[in-house]
Chain A
Amino acid sequence: MSLSAIWGLVQTALELGVTCSLTVLALFLSYSMLNVCDLSTDGCFTLGAAVGAVVAIAGHPYLSIPAAMAAGMLSGFVTAVLQTRMGIDSLLAGIIVNTGLYSINIAVMGKSSLLNMNKTETVFTKVKALLADTPLAGYQELLIALAAVALVIVFLTLFLRTRLGLAIRATGDNPDMVRSSSINPVFTTTVGLCVANAFTGLSGCLLAQSQKSVNIDIGSGMVTIALASLLIGQTFLGRGSIAKRAVGMVLGSVIFRLVYTIALRLNMPAFMLKLVSSVIVIIAIAGPYLKTQLPMLEKRLAGSRKGGG
């Protein structure tokens, strides 16, 4: 395999990793900070992709990005209202919204489950034209994704230091404290989920436009993939400042895609992607738990041996 072929694979992994890391950053806010596992992520990712594509096809390449983010925000708002105002369990709220979004996404895509953007002017084609005669030609996917990720990280770092950001973090960190304080957990949860889902929508929009097509399944399994990336990132840069941890999320996402690319080269079939992400999430969450259980298990085994059955 030639060097350029290897670089080609790495570049694709980087593009995918960085683009999808926006979803990981969304989970960083909802899962790590608010302590809400937002299962509407898959549907919201597809929603962002669909809305972004439709707006771009309608001839508004730049408008497609804020439109996708606004759609994501709206979806997050619905999830938040269900769990804070309607008494629906937060996991169930996510699942319900996710299911509902499937129909909405097909409706957005004009009753079709596939949209093609081969001849559509998108942010990527615009930037590609700009880069045409520079040394960076051909890197528009990576550059746009990196720029988006950098903006989101800067935003998150600043936002989580504001009083509202601190209140959101406290809501996830100690709900008991928040309940008897002047922070309204309904408000903080709603804002947190809206912002997080705006990022998820943005992530979907950028992935669809860089791939020049939207499939109704583009977001399926995304929550597990993002969670796997988040947990990988946490093992590398899990402590320290918000900025450092946010960079860790991007790193986790890129590592996940690189490992996946390598596994593909080793003849792992492509359909294994979702199983791999599931196994990573299981190991990352169950591992530390089992480690705490191990001494107890050893004691019990030793005890039963001594007791002689």
Chain B
Amino acid sequence: MVFNSIYFLFVFLPIALVLYYVIPARLKNLLLVIISFLFYAWGSPKSVIFLLFASLFNYASGIEIEHLKISRHTDAAMKVLIASASANIVLLASFKYIFDDMPVGMSFFTFTVLSYLFDVYGERTGAQRNPVNFILYVSFFPKLLSGPIVQYADMEAQLTNRKADPDKLMDGGVLFLVGLGKKVLLADALGAGFALLGQAENSILGAWLMMIFYSLQLYFDFSGYSDMAIGLSKMFGFEFEKNFDYPYMSLTVSEFWRRWHISLGNWFKQYVYFPMGGSRVSDVLILRNLLVVWLLTGIWHGNTFCFVVWGLYHGAFVILERFVIKGRFDGFPKALRRLATCLIAGIGWIFFFSPTIPSALRVILSMFGGAAFATRTAVYVLRSYFILLVLSLIGCTPFGSFLWNRLFAENNIGLNEHVLAFIAVALRLGLLILCTASLLGSTYTSFLYFKF
């Protein structure tokens, strides 16, 4: 099941919430596990078997590692950690790269359980003895399919001690709605424009539009999903950090990666970069550490060479900024630096959406003059989608949030409080109606990050 379906919005979610809020506290986690398994089973029942067995495997590994560490068999604990982590990685690699039949969310699941095993071994936290709590950590349905990748140490306390109240329900609901709007009203519409461009012959305008449309579609698709996941979690009392922070406003590529898919960046930092020494080693070792992290980031995303190139491409810019540029452009106008960062990220996305390196290079070549200026399709798409494009570009900035705060949180227009509250509710209701109408009138569209 997916969040952007009528059935989820108007049947599954309301029933889940009502049940969650009426049952006794001691049964809430069990209920969430059942709901999560039902959610996962909806699209692919056989994947539930995978989820259950893989969860039990890692639950047992955690207990084993903790016991061996407590009884001072550190070498044995390390062996169990290596064997268990390898088993998880072998499973992921088999599904992803050999069998090509990966259950949705498996990459996220694997990183989630690896976080648990590393945290237990590193004594950042204790092993989870309660199987229901453990299975809830790995299978909690809002984050199961596409993250955010919540580290065990950050969720452990919330598994037994969290509060779900009407305020959280409301805040979570609003965040979910914003995410739904990003996905249904912006990402899907941009996706239709991108599909049209894909059918056109190459041209300079077409290639630029392809890059811009995909950059925007991917952002609204994935950040929309993340908003929905974090909002849903909040409705059930869980608090997770944001996964996107206006990445296209970044001044450098390094900053872009601190704002894009934040939970994945933190994961690599915590479990790969820091254990290798992070930045507290010689320049040569920092270089090695950065290359390893970016290579792994690329490989995590997909099984084609394009993803490896994409990962190393970004790694190269991060390394350049650290060792060569060293803030030399800090005096340049911010708008120019933002534009340059967006261009670098946008060219990177071309490797993301292209099936092969030559096809990616063809698009890049077309962008810089290797084709006719424009085709009829490219002009048609620009005209038809111009307003959407402008709205989407504005949506990438904090302008909307700034405006909302000025009007509603700070009440700068001096309206009566009740009137203001009424307008805010009416606007949100309007957004829900628009999203519902859009969902009813279209066929199902998946999330781009499901395939990773």
- Are A and B genuine complex partners? no
Residues of chain B at the chain A interface (Cβ within 8 Å): none
